[in-house]
């Protein structure tokens, strides 16, 4: 992924914080369209927070890797997962 890429959240995905958990829920027309909801760990929740439609991937990467002791590949894998479920574009 290019560092200049800017991710935008899908407006049909809502986030809810319930106690210490962050949950992504797709909003669709019918209940048959809902495959599942997604519970994010702390690192994934932080990435979701950083995606604001303005920050570049490079800026997200720098902030995230400064805050979490994880491999850069984990960030890339999570962003690919978000793209696959159409949570971001």
For residue 53, give both structure tokens.
């439609």
| Interatomic CA distance for residues 42 and 13, integer angstroms | 18
Residue 30 confidence (pLDDT): 62
Instruction: Output the average pLDDT for the chain.
Output: 91
25-41 pLDDT, tens per residue?
Answer: 888 766 565 668 899 99
CB atoms within 10 A of CB 82: 23
Say which residue, 35 or 15, is predicted with more confidence. Answer: 15
* pTM of this structure: 0.88
> Cα(2)–Cα(17) distance, rounded to whole angstroms?
30
Average pLDDT over residues 44-62: 97
User: Edge-to-edge, what's the strand order for the sheet holding 38-40?
Assistant: 13-18, 21-26, 38-40
């Amino acid at each position: 992924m290019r560092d200049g890429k800017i991710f935008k959240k899908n407006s049909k995905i809502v986030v809810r914080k319930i106690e210490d958990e962050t949950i992504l829920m797709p909003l669709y027309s019918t209940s048959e369209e809902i495959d599942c909801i997604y519970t994010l760990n702390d690192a994934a929740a932080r990435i979701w927070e950083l995606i604001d439609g303005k920050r570049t991937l490079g800026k997200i990467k720098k902030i995230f890797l400064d805050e979490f002791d994880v491999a850069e590949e984990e960030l890339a894998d999570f962003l690919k997962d978000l793209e696959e479920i159409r949570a971001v574009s």
